[in-house]
Each structure stands twice: as structure tokens, then as C-alpha cells.
Amino acid sequence: MHYVYLLESEPESSRRYVGLTADLRHRLREHNAGKSRHTAKYKPWRLVTYVAFSAKDNADAFERYLKSGSGHAFARKHLW
């Protein structure tokens, strides 16, 4: 399985992050351990939601969509 996940940081910094992984628990631990340069300074992170895909191509496409302008609007309305 491949997961597109949405993270949110603590309320003080209130950052949001969209990512893709095959091991969701491991990846969340990495984000909270500061091992991702994009998310290290805004930790701790909490998992808001995720969507599972059996095909990596579909997961890649959905992640790219969520990072686009219309995808931001969709996520704000339906996922956050």
C-alpha cells in the first residue's frame, strides 16, 4: 500500500504538510524525530488524515494534486 498523508504541526506554528510513503507509522516517527529537513523545525506533527492506494502511480498523482492550487482548496474543504 501507498499512503498520501496530511500532517499538522502544533498550534503555535500551525503548519501543514502533505506527503507520500509506503510505511506511514515509520514516516510519522521520522517527521517527529526531525529527520526531514522540510518539517524538522515545526515538530511535533500529528496525523490529520491519510488515503491509501494500492498503486503507487495513483498515490503520486493524488499527492501532486493536493499540492496544486485546486488541490489545496479541495484539501481545505474536505480533508483538514
Domain that holds residue 53: 2-78
15-51 per-position pLDDT tens digit:
999 999 999 999 999 999 999 999 999 989 999 999 9
Coil, strand or helix: which one is 73?
A: helix
| pTM for this entry | 0.90
From the CB of residue 60, how many other CB atoms can be counted at a distance below 10 Å?
Answer: 14
Q: How many domains does the chain have?
A: 1
Under 8 Å between Cβ of 2 and 18: no
* CATH code of the domain covering residue 13: 3.40.1440.10
